[in-house]
Amino acid sequence: MSRKYFGTDGIRGRVGEHPITPQFMMHLGYAAGKVLASMGDARSERTGVLIGKDTRISGYMLESALEAGLIAAGIDVYLAGPVPTPAVAYLTRALRLQAGIVISASHNPFEDNGIKFFSAHGTKLPDETERAIEAALDEPMHTNASDGLGKAKRIDDAVGRYIEFCKSTFPVDLDLRGLKIVVDSAHGATYHIARYVFHELGADVIAIGAQPDGKNINDGYGATAPDNLSIAVVEHKADLGIALDGDGDRLVMVDSAGKLYDGDQLLYVIARHRQAQGLLRGGVVGTLMTNLAFEHAMQKLGIPFKRAKVGDRYVMELLQQQGWQLGGENSGHIICLGKHSTGDGIISALQVLHALMASGQSLAEAASDLHMYPQVLINVRVNKGVDCLGHDQVKSAVADAEQVLNGKGRVLLRPSGTEPLLRVMVEGEDQQLVERSAQRIADVVRKLAAS
C-alpha cells in the first residue's frame, strides 16, 4: 500500500498548506499517539514521546499542535526545544522513550516545514508503523477522558546531554588543540551546539551562521550554501571549515584554501582511515548518486561497496542487511553506526577530524587520492503526477547521452522524494560532454513538463 503523507523523509511541505497546518498536525499527533500506545511496553503505564525542532518560526505552531494531539491520545510529551535531528534520535534512546518527533524541513527554506519520526531505537520509523499512522488519520479524533490524558515536560538539559554525547564519539587520547576551525550552523538547529563540541575538544572555533531569527535557516549559509564558509576559512586563515544543514544531519567541509569537499570525499577519508586502523567492519554503502570515482576508489582499496536508493533511510537499511557500519550520500548524510544510530553531521565531522589528527594529514592530503569525476545535477520542476521518466522522448535523450559517454560515465534520472522535482544527473570523465548531455536531457524534460 502506498503512503499518502509520508515520503522518503517524513512529511514535508509548505507551511499553511495541507498537510503542514496546525489542524492536521494535531490530528497527526493524536493518530501517532494511538498507534504508538498500542505498540507500547506492557511494563510501562504510559507512553512517552520526545519532540525536537529546528529554528523555523513555524516550529512553535507545529510543536504546540503535535503536543496537543499526543496529550489528547494519552501520551506523555517531552519537549527538547531547538535541537538537531540526530539529537532527537539520541535523546529518544537515552530517555527510553517510545518515539521521537523532529519538526524540520532539513535543508529547505524557512517557508517549508516537516515532521520526521524516530523509533525507540533511534532509527527512522518503520514503513509499517508509518502506514498504521496514516490509517489512523482516517479515523475521527476522540480526546481521552481527563484521567487518561498525557502530560508535558520540558527537557532543560537536552543541549548539554547531546554535546557530551557528541564529544564521547571522539577518541579520549586525541584532541583538537592547534586547529582553527570555522563552523557554519546554517542558522539552524546546531547554532548553540556545534561550536561548543569542537571548542570543548580543544579547537579554536570561529562560528558563522549561528544567529537564527526564525526566517534565515539555510539562507546563504550551511551545507547547501557553503560559499560563505569558504570565504571565512580563507579570511581567518583557518585549517578547515565545517558546514552543517538546518537540522544538523548533513555535512560538507572545506580545506584551508577554501576548497569544498562533499559527502563522497569525506566518506572516503573516514573509510580509508578505518581500513588502515583495522576498524572498518565490512564494506561501505553509497547511493545511486555516489560518484563513480568513489566506487572505483573502494575497489582499489579492496573495500566492498554497494549502492542503495537515494535517501539516508535506504542507506541505513542496506547497512543493516549487510551488517556493515559505514555509509553515506554525496549530499553529506554520513552514517557511522558504531557511533550513532542515524546520520549526524557533527559526529561525522569528528570522524573526519579523527582521521586527520591520527594521520597528521590535512584534509586536502587525506582526500588527494580520490579523483572525482565531473558530475552535473540539474533539478527540473515538474507537476505532481507527471511521468516524465516513462516518456519516449526522455528515454531517447538518455540513450543518446549514454552513447556519447561510451561506457565512461553514468546517467541517472530520479524524482525527488521531498520536492516536485526531477533530478537529472550525468557524470563521466569529460566535463564538457557531461554538461552538454545533462542539459539536453533537462531541456527535454522541461518541454514535457511545460506542455
Q: Which residues are catalytic?
A: 106
Read off the DSSP letter of residue 433.
H
- Residue 42 CB partners (closer than 8 Å, separation 6+): none
Q: How many CB atoms lie within 10 A of CB 90?
A: 25
Euclidean distance between CA atoms 234 and 346, whole angstroms:
22
Q: Please choose, from the candidates 169, 246, 247, the residue with its C-alpha nearest in 3D space to the C-alpha of residue 201.
A: 169
Q: Which three cell numbers stand for residue 75?
A: 501520551
Euclidean distance between CA atoms 323 and 9, whole angstroms:
23
Rounded to whole angstroms, the maximal C-alpha distance in the chain is 70
Q: Please choose, from the candidates 352, 383, 380, the residue with its C-alpha nearest in 3D space to the C-alpha of residue 261.
A: 352
Euclidean distance between CA atoms 313 and 449, whole angstroms:
29
Four-residue CA torsion sign, 183, 187, 191, 194: negative
Read off the DSSP letter of residue 7.
B
Read off the DSSP letter of residue 442.
H
CB 37 within 8 A of CB 74: yes
Euclidean distance between CA atoms 125 and 101, whole angstroms:
10
Q: Which three cell numbers stand for residue 357?
A: 589528527
- β pairing state of 11-14 and 76-82: unpaired
Residue reference for cell 565490512 = 282
CB 129 within 8 A of CB 37: no
Q: Which three cell numbers stand for residue 265?
A: 570525499
Contacts 24+ apart (CB under 8 A), 253-257: 253/349, 253/352, 253/363, 254/226, 254/229, 254/230, 254/363, 255/362, 255/363, 255/364, 256/362, 256/363, 256/364, 257/364
